[in-house]
Structure 1
Amino acid sequence: MKKYDIVKMIKEYLIVTLGVILVSFGLQYFYAPNDIAGGGLSGLALVINHYVPFLSTGTLVFLGNLILFVIAFLLIGSDFGAKTIYASFALSFAMDFMEKVMHSYALTTNLALAVVFGTLIIGTGLAIAFATNASTGGTDILAKILNKYTKFNIGRALLMVDLFVVVFGAITFGLNKGFYSLIAVVINGLLVDKVIDMIGKYKQKKAAEELNEEKVA
């Protein structure tokens, strides 16, 4: 492997790590302490954790991801699969670290604020991962598959998958919190597409600038 390829790979994994940290922070400091199951395997983990409290959300996310790793490799590719495995392990570790070591707590108990700020942080983190051809695992893998084999944008695909989790969240935590979870899922789907589009335009602009510099040189 060339030095350039190694540097590029390290840079991509660092970017994925940033996305994972943002997702973990949003989940542990906004969603989890307010019982907001905002979709995804992490949202489903919050529901299961409610009924089986001795299993942490991080552990449940890890176990759930094992089922979907093979699908990621077979249907999407090894690059996406490898990054997704890394991101899911990192997400489980980060969530458990914030929960057990940092003793994460609700930065706000206002459900509306928790949804808005939590979704902004989580959606940005997910978009960063998707833009680097990765995901945090779980239902994000299903959304990526829908995105690859249909005409759905990644955000809309994520929205469709997450609605399933929201229903179970509403049954578990009540219609009031289920309503806020629904809002979180809708905002998240729209935000992911927006941030990915912004990142794509930035990459195109940067590539054009580098090409112009080469021509000048």
Structure 2
Amino acid sequence: MTKNNIMKTIKEYFIVTIGVILVAFGLQYFYSPNDIAGGGLSGLSLVINHYVPSLSLGTLIFLGNLILFAIAFLLIGGDFGAKTIYASFALSFVMDFMEKVMHSHALTNNLLLAVICGTLIIGTGLALAFSINASTGGTDILAKILNKYTSFNIGRALLIVDLSVVICGAITFGLNKGLYSLLAVVINGLLVDKVIDMIGKYKEQKAAEQSDKEEIAA
């Protein structure tokens, strides 16, 4: 591996780590204390945690990803990126650290404000991971399985999975919080696409500037 490749790998894992920290922060300080099950494995873990409080969110996400990776290897195959595996388990670790060491708590009890702030932070974190072909696991794995064995595309499969979690959240925490969770899912989907698009344009601009510098140097 060349020096450039090593630096590129370090940079990518650094970006993934920042994304993971943002997602964990949004979940632990906005979603979780306000019972907002905003889709995904994290939302499902929040529902399960309500019924089994002895299991922390980080532990539930870790176990969930472990089960999902095992199922995915059997149903889809072993072509999984190391960055996704790293991100999914790092998320569990960071969430447990925030909960047990930092004693995370709600930064606001206003549900609308919690949805907006939490989703902005979580969506940005997810977009950072997606921008370098990584993810935090969870619903991405379920969506891939659904996509392989049905006629649904990835986007529709993700929406179906997230909506299923929102329904479970509404049953567990009530219709009012279920509607806020639905709002979180919609905002998150729009935000992730927007941030990824912004990152893509930034990369194109930097590549163009680098190309211009090389032409001038030549």
Counterpart residue identity of residue 115, structure 1: V
Cα deviation code 1:49-70 (max 9, x no counterpart): 0001111110000011012325
User: 1:121 offset after TM fit, Å?
Assistant: 0.3
Query: Which residue matches 1:9?
Result: 9
In structure 2, distance between residues paired with 1:31 and 1:190 = 18
User: 1:141 offset after TM fit, Å?
Assistant: 3.0
Taking the TM superposition and a 5 Å limit, the aligned residue runs for 1:103-118 are 103-118=103-118
In structure 2, stretches of 5+ residues that fail to align are: none
Counterpart residue identity of residue 202, structure 2: Y
In structure 2, distance between residues paired with 1:115 and 1:8 = 34
**Structure-2 change in CA distance of 1:198 and 1:24 (3 Å):** same
User: 1:205 offset after TM fit, Å?
Assistant: 1.1
User: 1:151 offset after TM fit, Å?
Assistant: 9.3
Counterpart residue identity of residue 135, structure 1: S
In structure 2, distance between residues paired with 1:212 and 1:157 = 42
Query: Which residue matches 1:20?
Result: 20
Counterpart residue identity of residue 159, structure 2: L
Further displaced range: 176-185 or 132-141: 132-141
User: 1:160 offset after TM fit, Å?
Assistant: 3.4
**Structure-2 change in CA distance of 1:146 and 1:153 (3 Å):** same
User: 1:143 offset after TM fit, Å?
Assistant: 4.3
Question: Conserved in 2, the CA contact under 8 Å of 1:62 and 1:92?
Answer: yes
What TM-score, normalized to structure 2? Answer: 0.90
Taking the TM superposition and a 5 Å limit, the aligned residue runs for 1:1-217 are 1-70=1-70, 71=72, 75=76, 78=79, 81-143=81-143, 158-217=158-217
User: 1:209 offset after TM fit, Å?
Assistant: 1.1
Calculate the aligned-residue CA RMSD, in Å.
2.4
In structure 2, distance between residues paired with 1:23 and 1:207 = 28
Cα deviation code 1:76-124 (max 9, x no counterpart): 974x521111001110011000001000000000000000000000011
The total of aligned residue pairs comes to 215
Question: Conserved in 1, the CA contact under 8 Å of 2:39 and 2:185?
Answer: yes
User: 1:75 offset after TM fit, Å?
Assistant: 4.8
Further displaced range: 132-141 or 158-167: 158-167
What TM-score, normalized to structure 1? Answer: 0.91
Question: Conserved in 2, the CA contact under 8 Å of 1:140 and 1:158?
Answer: yes
In structure 1, distance between residues paired with 2:210 and 2:151 = 33
In structure 1, stretches of 5+ residues that fail to align are: none
* Percent pairwise identity: 77
Question: Conserved in 2, the CA contact under 8 Å of 1:116 and 1:184?
Answer: yes
User: 1:204 offset after TM fit, Å?
Assistant: 1.0
Secondary structure of residue in 2 paired with 1:55:
coil
